[in-house]
Amino acid sequence: MLRLKSPLLARISVIRARLFFVTAVVLLLLLWNTPYIFPLKLFTVIVHELTHALTAWATGGKLLSFSYDYQEGGAAITSGGNRFLILASGYLGSAFFGGLIITLATRTNIDRFLSFILGIGLAGLTFYYATAETKILFAYLFAAFYLLAAFQFSSMVCEALLILIGLANCCYAWIDIVQDVFLSTGSVSDATTLAQLTGFPSLFWGAFWLLLATSMTWFFAQIALNGRTSRDIVEEVLEEEGSSDE
CA-nearest of 40, 64, 61 to 129 is 64
CA-nearest of 126, 96, 77 to 220 is 96
All residues at 6 or more sequence positions from 235 whose CB lies less than 8 Å from its CB, including other chains? none
Q: Which helix (H) or strand (E) holds 209?
A: helix 202-226
Phi, psi angles (nearest 5°) of residue 23: -60, -45
pTM of the model: 0.86
- Determine the pLDDT at residue 33: 86
- Determine the pLDDT at residue 188: 80
Buried/exposed 215-245: b ≥16 CB within 10 Å, e otherwise = ebbebbbbbbbbbeeeeeeeeeeeeeeeeee
Pairing, β 62-68 against β 74-79: antiparallel
All residues at 6 or more sequence positions from 10 whose CB lies less than 8 Å from its CB, including other chains? 227
- Determine the pLDDT at residue 216: 94
- Determine the pLDDT at residue 102: 95
Phi, psi angles (nearest 5°) of residue 70: -65, -25
Residue length of the chain: 246
- How is the chain split into domains, by residue range? 27-245
Whether 224 and 103 have beta carbons less than 8 Å apart is answered as: yes
Per-residue pLDDT of the chain (246 residues; tens, 9 = 90+): 577 888 888 888 888 999 999 999 999 999 998 888 877 888 888 888 889 989 999 999 988 877 776 666 677 888 999 999 999 999 999 999 999 999 999 999 999 999 999 988 888 877 777 666 665 666 678 888 889 999 999 988 999 999 999 999 999 999 989 988 888 766 788 899 999 999 999 999 999 999 999 999 999 999 999 886 555 555 555 666 566 555
Give the Cα separation of 143 and 126 in Å (integer): 9
Whether 102 and 167 have beta carbons less than 8 Å apart is answered as: yes
| End-to-end Cα spacing for the chain | 46
All residues at 6 or more sequence positions from 113 whose CB lies less than 8 Å from its CB, including other chains? 150
Give helix then strand counts, H and E, for the chain. 11, 2
